[in-house]
Amino acid sequence: MTDSTKKRVLAIGIPQFATASIEKLREKYIFDFIIPDPTSRMETIRKIHKAAEKNKYDACFWLFRNAPISPFTKEMLGPLVPGCRLFITGASGYDDLDVEWMTANGAYVSNVPNASTEGTAVMNLLLFLSVLRGSREAEQTMRSGKWHGNLPLMEDPCGKTVGIIGMGAIGKSFAQKIIPLGCKVIYNNRNRLSTEEETTLDIKYATLDELLSTSDVISINCPLTPSTKNLLSKKEFQKMKDDVYILNTARGSIIDEEAFIEAIQSGKVCRAGLDVFVNEPNPNPFWLTSDKVTVQPHWGGFTTSTVAMVEEAILRNIDTFFETGCPLSYVNNPLIRG
């Protein structure tokens, strides 16, 4: 196969771990790499457009750390179509992709739905323990030279009712990590699990109102969709127990930010643990200054094993698409348009 007949892939970012797989695939395909500019979305767009002027691409993928350059829209990727028939994000979520535009241009949109499950669930556990133990306040007090000063007593996981909103792979993994700590887990999901699976996981279904009113800790683990945007707003916070704990490793916009801040300031929410925010990577300054909030920079999936799995999954999707015409995982079907 000559270079002129090989499929060509545009990579936005350079894989760190899947080098051997890329070298093997280079026997069949051509890979061009550009380095996204973390400080300028427009500079990244310029690089993509420049690459598209030189070559026609059959597939395009990007890796983690994309908040500074997202969203992935026609403005950014327009010159790649109609030739590019596959766009792959290294994330499980795809709310920052213009799926409708990509579908209309005959392109599959592929994600990596399960590679970050364990990393995100462990982050959920870290935040869970942090908010119960008040680790931010304790560390801040000690670093200020006051030892434990007037810190309030902490809480233990044992005996806590944890309500999980979204019982997908991450929700299930998180549940299995906290049940051995003595927690009771209830959940709400778009589709209820089977009785057999509920029994196996040792979890119980609850309506959203039941979950809000009875949970000591509420964990957000559902995807961001039009129906889940601002799922928790002022009236939902009013239904919650006083001194409730909130965790969010899903997407910031699932919680109404203004209502959330108000609930923390009023004391309705005792503490919050957050790995996701509205307007990433420039979140509301409140989250960076409140001693009631443990924050992480959307960092749950950034482990060596997770990133390695994501890179390999992307390459398998590309290879399968070029071999069969359909990727392994996809969130749309450009052959069926509404």
Is-catalytic flag, 43?
Answer: no
Residue 104 and residue 186 in one domain: no
pLDDT given at position 261: 98
Q: Is residue 127 part of a domain?
A: yes
Confidence of residue 335 (pLDDT cuts 50, 70, 90): confident
Q: Both 201 and 287 in a single domain?
A: yes
The whole-number average pLDDT for the span 142-169 is: 96
pLDDT given for residue 38 in this prediction: 86
Least confident stretch, 7-16, 17-26, 64-73, 98-107: 64-73
Q: Is 49 a catalytic residue?
A: no
pLDDT digits (tens, 9 = 90+) for 245-291: 999 999 999 999 999 999 999 999 999 999 999 999 899 999 999 99
**For residue 323, is pLDDT > 90?**
yes
> CA separation (Å) from 53 to 78, 81, 96, 205, 275?
12, 12, 25, 53, 38
Mean pLDDT on 329-336: 89
Whether 253 and 108 share a structural domain: no
Write down the pLDDT at residue 4: 72
- As given in the structure block, the two tokens for residue 51 are 């690459």
**Which pTM does this prediction carry?**
0.88
Does residue 332 form part of some domain?
A: no
Average pLDDT over residues 16-29: 96
Exposure pattern of 200-237 as b/e (b: 16+ CB <10 Å)?
Answer: ebebeebeeeebbeebbbbbbbbbbeeebeebbeeebb
85 is catalytic: no
Q: What is the C-alpha to C-alpha distance for residues 192 and 68, in angstroms, rounded to an integer?
A: 36
Asked if residue 169 and residue 264 are part of one domain, the reply reads yes
pLDDT digits (tens, 9 = 90+) for 42-55: 999 999 999 999 99
The token pair at 160 is 């806590």
Q: Which of 8, 271, 298, 311 is catalytic?
A: 298
pLDDT in tens, 297-309: 999 999 999 999 9
Active-site position among 251, 257, 271, 311: 251
- Domain containing 7: what range? 3-115+303-324
Q: Do both 158 and 278 map to the same domain?
A: yes
Do 282 and 310 meet the contact criterion of CB atoms below 8 Å apart? no
Same domain? For 142 and 213 the reply is yes
Considering the domain architecture, whether residues 59 and 85 belong to the same structural domain is answered as yes
How far apart CA 269 and CA 262 sit, in angstroms, is 9
Pairing of β 59-62 and β 184-188: unpaired
Where residue 298 falls (left for φ over 0; alpha for ψ -120 to 50; beta otherwise) is left
Mean pLDDT of 14-36: 96
Q: What is the pLDDT of residue 115?
A: 84
> Residue 178 carries which side chain, given as an amino acid letter?
I
What pLDDT does residue 236 have? Answer: 98
Whole-angstrom distance, CA of residue 271 vs CA of residue 216: 11
| 167 pLDDT more than 70 | yes
pLDDT of 68 above 90: no
Per-residue confidence (pLDDT) for residue 140, from 0 to 100: 93
Place 2 in a pLDDT band, splitting at 50, 70 and 90.
low
User: Of these residues, 198, 210, 280, 312, which one is catalytic?
Assistant: 280
| Mean pLDDT computed over 70-86 | 96
Kindly indicate the confidence band of residue 61, based on its pLDDT and cuts at 50, 70 and 90. Answer: very high
Number of domains in the chain: 2
Q: Are residues 289 and 211 in the same domain?
A: yes
- Answer yes or no: is 336 within a domain: no
Q: Classify residue 261: in a domain, yes or no.
A: yes
Assign 92 a pLDDT band (cuts: 50, 70, 90).
confident
pLDDT in tens, 180-237: 999 999 999 999 999 999 999 999 999 999 999 999 999 999 999 999 999 999 999 9
Average pLDDT, the chain: 95
What is the CB neighbour count within 10 angstroms for residue 74? 14
Residue 1: pLDDT band with limits 50, 70, 90: low
Mean pLDDT of 71-95: 94
> Based on the domain organization, do 123 and 258 belong to the same domain?
yes
